[in-house]
Homo-oligomer: A and B are copies of this chain.
């Protein structure tokens, strides 16, 4: 089973968390040919946590777990916290392949997206 985790920060505001669940729901059918499961997860505050989701997927015999960090900036979360959690699981379960993607904010398309929004005003 190949899984993708859509990882966001987590917020005290339910509306903000709901946006993450909603994004995961919208992404899931669009990548279903490649990923058997697409699961939302949060780094802080909100459940389910990244560790809980990885543990759950490993219990269900995940062969690969790809983590997509939905973060804008290269802060401590992206550069330290997330890699540390993933590395911990890697050494604990060498049978599963973990792929930590670059975070959302590094996308080349962001500038075009911003410009198009501004020029639509």
Which residues of chain A have a CB within 8 Å of any CB of chain B?
Answer: 4, 6, 8-9, 11, 13, 15-16, 19-20, 23, 26-27, 30-31, 34-35, 66, 68, 70-76, 99, 101, 104-105, 107, 109-111, 113-119, 121
Question: A4 CA to B117 CA in the complex, in Å?
Answer: 13
Bound CA–CA A16/B72 (angstroms) = 9
Knowing A23-B114, A118-B31, say if A72 contacts B72 (CB, 8 Å): yes
Q: A23 — which chain B residues lie within 8 A by C-beta?
A: 110-111, 114
Least CB distance, A66 to chain B, in whole angstroms? 7
| Residue ID in chain B nearest A117 by CB atoms | B107
Known: A109-B113, A119-B34. A16 touches B101 (CB 8 A): no
Of A8, A9, A75, most buried by chain B (CB within 10 Å of CB) is A75
User: Knowing that A16-B74, A30-B111, A107-B117 are A-B contacts, what are 15 other residue pairs whose CB atoms are under 8 Å apart, sorted by A's residue number?
Assistant: A6-B114, A8-B72, A13-B73, A15-B74, A20-B73, A23-B110, A26-B111, A27-B114, A31-B118, A68-B114, A68-B117, A70-B72, A71-B72, A99-B121, A109-B116
